[in-house]
Amino acid sequence: MKATAPRGRRPRRKEAAAPSPAAIESVPLAVGDKRHPVLGLGLWGLGRWSAEDEARTRATIGRAIERGVRWFDTAEVYGAGRSERLLGDVLRRATEGAQALVVTKLSWEHLRANQVRASLVRSLDRLGRASVDLYLVHAPDRRVPLAETMGALEQLQQEGRIGAIGVSNFSVEELEEAGRHLRSTQLVVNQVRYNLFDREDAEAVLPYCREHGIVVEAYTPLARGLLNGRYLDGRRPPAEVRQYAQDLFGESRLPEIVRQARGLQQLAAEAGVPLPSLAFHWVRARGAAPVFGASRPEQVDANLDAWAQRPDEATIARADALVRGERA
């Protein structure tokens, strides 16, 4: 129910009021003393890296810091290093920057032992830090034995340049193998794609990760804006969005997904929450930590407002059934 101010005593609307920080819980990491917030901001799709895009990205990261976000995800491949550079710069200038959990990733093209060290050194240089809190293998490459990559990462962790080691896009078999090659430490994170419409990869690894104390970070939790209500009016996602989300926005799946998303929107309206609340809290309820993308401050605001509104369990269960049911 909406609270209304008594007649005649309606408070004046504050212009440009400072946004309040969102309450974002965190969980301890299995290695080191850092905690892992359960909601974070990812810095992949940030436009075309024009000066205007960069200014907007700085403002976006700045807004996220103001709003209480403390987990930032980047990678050496994002904008060919520009994402790391911008993040490092904004965090250095912010008072709260030192509290952030900074996560970056080793490219799947740099998994050889000699490449691992060189990649990390370049990433640290761009981030302007002596060490990174969490370093993830972006994706496996079957041509490079995991023993080689894990050995190099462990060495760098022992030197204090990596707080903890994680992976991304790993199956259970790959997690087991990577774990076998770590002698004095363990994997703390597996970052995988997870949203109401894309479940298979994450659900295949969630039980194993739970059992082994590995945090599952869920990327693309908003289905590239679809779960913010985008494209529900029948507009087609632009080519650059389709290119990286083919299985989601391919011709054969899109009409069904849009129909389901409209159903979710109606469900969210009935429950009195914004659509992305359902998207985020469905992921959270399944034991994963969403890392969303945003390319402007207003998106950060909308997403954090959505996070702050938690649908009840019955609504989350109905959202789940709606997508599963219509698929069957």
Ligand X SMILES: NC(=O)c1ccc[n+]([C@@H]2O[C@H](COP(=O)([O-])OP(=O)(O)OC[C@H]3O[C@@H](n4cnc5c(N)ncnc54)[C@H](OP(=O)(O)O)[C@@H]3O)[C@@H](O)[C@H]2O)c1
Q: Which residues bind ligand X (CB under 6 A)?
A: 42-45, 73, 138, 168-169, 191, 219-225, 228, 230, 291-295, 299, 302-303
b/e map 86-120, b = 16+ CB within 10 Å: bbbbbbeeeeebeebbbbbbbbeebbbbebbbebb
Question: Which of 78, 194, 219, 231 does the annotation list as catalytic?
Answer: 78
254-271 and 275-285 helices cross at what angle (nearest 10)? Answer: 100
The minimum distance between CB 146 and ligand X, in angstroms, equals: 17
The minimum distance between CB 29 and ligand X, in angstroms, equals: 18
Of 205 and 294, the one with the shorter C-beta distance to ligand X is 294
Which tokens go with 188?
């703390």
Which tokens go with 56?
């907007």
Of 74 and 185, the one with the shorter C-beta distance to ligand X is 74
Name the amino acid, one letter, at 292. F
CA-CA distance, 30 to 124, in Å (whole number)?
A: 23
- 231 flagged as catalytic: no
Which tokens go with 111?
């998994």
Of 155 and 201, the one with the shorter C-beta distance to ligand X is 201
313-327 and 275-285 helices cross at what angle (nearest 10)? Answer: 90
The minimum distance between CB 304 and ligand X, in angstroms, equals: 9
Of 240 and 270, the one with the shorter C-beta distance to ligand X is 240
Separation in Å, CA 90 to CA 42, 72, 169, 184, 267? 14, 11, 28, 34, 38
Q: How far is CA 23 from the centre of its chain?
A: 17
The minimum distance between CB 17 and ligand X, in angstroms, equals: 19
The minimum distance between CB 192 and ligand X, in angstroms, equals: 8
The residue count of the chain comes to 328
CA-CA distance, 10 to 18, in Å (whole number)?
A: 20
Residues identified as active-site? 78
